[in-house]
Structure 1
Amino acid sequence: MVDVDKAIIARLKKHGKVFEVLVDCDLALAVKAGKDVPITDVLAVQKVFADSRKALVATDADLEQVFSTTNHLEAAKDIIVNGEVQITAEHRARIIEDKRRRILGILHRNGVDPKTHLPHPMTRLELAFEEAKIKISEYERVEKQVKDILKKLMPILPISFEKKEIAVKVPPEFGIRAYPIVKSFGELKKDEWLDDGSWSAVIEIPAGMQNDLFDKLNSLTHGNVDIKILKTSKNEVE
């Protein structure tokens, strides 16, 4: 049960009317993100208000007009999904930091220096963020922000999004353990067990993950692994 004293307001303005519900911040944001959360777990009060501070409940006529239902739970979900959740400063800071880490992770995994075709160190990316005065939005999707941030970073830190097709060949004694490692890095194009018991594979991975893959395979096989980059191509941000 959501504590009313700790609940925040989710508000929707539509057809000249205002509708409010009292919600748990984290669960409401999860609903907005498309996660399957029971609406009864999200609400502090299972009513839709015209003014929650005055405890003024929305009329059935208004609910029917705007939401085509008089069911308060159905209307509440619509308000959360399509309205504005008034997050606290603490939640806002947490969301922004989480998105910042995710954006940096995408740039680090996928982006490389176009001259060397090697990934930029995370510390260099973080410094470029500071230099470019990058601002993270708590509302926009991470993927959308990556595209905009790339444009701002390019004058400071050229980044090319690339993917690489890599062939690996692992000795018989390491094949079974190498398979899940390789597969976890990207799309396994093909793999086969050779006549001598060795395991051979071709995988497509984000260019920035190349060194991590090499390090893991070298660590597993004590350097006894054949690795060959077959081709490099552009990798668009989704």
Structure 2
Amino acid sequence: MPGKKPDYVIAWIEVKGKRFEILVRPDPAFKFKEGENVDIEDILWTDTIYRDSRKGLKASPAEVKSAFGTEDPRRIAEKILREGQIQLTEEQRRKLIEAKKKQIITYIARNAIDPKTGKPIPETRIETAFEQLRIGVDPFKDAETQAVEAVRRIATLMPIKLAKAVVRAEIPAQYSGRIYRELQRLGHLLKTDWRHDGTLVAELEIPAGSQVEVVSRIQGLTKGQARVDVKVVK
């Protein structure tokens, strides 16, 4: 159909001063670059390695071998997708940036606290700080790395730091057996002590920003009968 957009985008990389391109299906390519397990066969629109795909200029076998040490299009595609760039439409870039921004803000909210009060910081407050500081987001860089850098910048605007907390919970005997597995899911179990009466005393390391969520979960599972203390440790 005239005017129909192609169902592929260009992924490219520069090696030894030369540009190499492949044509890929956008959705699986983006998922692969985000770290998802996607078969290269489902990503490649064609297995041709180009110097300039728009002009139909293919890379010679000698150029490919020199640049990548192989002529296997699957291995070459993996390198280009991991280390190179993927062409994006404005709409695709906007959606990827918004999704990554949400991941970063969620990570900060779960892992950061106000060091003055030891309390978690709401996502809405973190999002406002992003807007005020005009913090940029790289759609292909991992969320944790960007979150650490974002916290450094937000700290110039308000008290904030990444921290861990230790939750000490005394679980009555009637709930201790059922809650043990849940505690393992909620954080890193540092210590457990089973008392003679069946009471479980557990220490759990968690992201400091998730302390309200974790305490609420423990109390919900024990109908409010657990004794829970929280201490921010760093």
TM-score normalized by structure 2?
0.88
Aligned CA distance change for structure 1 residues 164 and 23 (closer, same or farther; 3 Å): same
Say whether the 8 Å CA contact 1:47–1:73 is kept in structure 2.
no
Residue 36 of structure 1 deviates from its aligned partner by 4.0
Q: Secondary structure, in 3 states, of the residue corresponding to 1:87? A: coil
Counterpart CA distance in 1 for 2:220 and 2:73 is 58
Q: C-alpha distance in 2, partners of 1:73/1:121? A: 44
Counterpart Cα distance in 1 of 2:73 and 2:214 = 52
Partner of 1:19: 20
CA contact (8 A) 1:118 1:208 kept: yes
- 2:212 is matched with 211
Q: What is residue 6 of structure 1 aligned with on the other side? A: 7
Aligned to 1:194: 195
**Per-residue deviation, residues 136-179 of structure 1 (Å, max 9, x unmatched):** 12233322222221122113221022222221111122112322
Runs of 4+ in 1 over 6 A off after TM superposition: none
What is the alpha-carbon distance in structure 2 between the residues aligned to residue 219 and residue 232 of structure 1?
Answer: 22
- Contact 2:34/2:140 (8 A) holds in 1: no
Preserved CA contact (<8 Å) 2:219 2:226:
yes
- The structure-2 alpha-carbon separation of the partners of 1:165 and 1:75, relative to structure 1 and needing over 3 Å to count, comes to closer
Q: 1:140 to 1:76 in 2, by over 3 A?
A: closer
Q: Equivalent residue for 1:102?
A: 103
CA-CA distance at 1:48 after TM superposition: 1.0
Q: CA RMSD in A?
A: 2.1
Q: Distance in 2 between matches of 1:110 and 1:74?
A: 37
SS in 2 for 1:6: coil
Gaps of 5+ in 2: none
Q: CA deviation at 1:208?
A: 1.3
Q: Secondary structure at the match of 2:47?
A: coil
SS in 2 for 1:5: coil
Match of 2:122 in 1: 121
CA distance in 2, matches of 1:169, 1:138: 43
Matched residue SS, 1:9: strand
Is the contact made by 1:163 and 1:207 (CA closer than 8 Å) also made in structure 2? yes
Number of residue pairs matched?
230
TM-superposed deviation, 1:61? 1.8
CA, structure 1 residues 65+181, in 2 after alignment: closer, same or farther (shift >3 Å)? Answer: same
TM-score normalised per structure 1? 0.87
Q: Which residue of 2 aligns with 1:80?
A: 81
User: Structure 1 stretches of 5 or more lacking a match?
Assistant: none
1:13/1:150 CA distance change after superposition, 3 Å: same
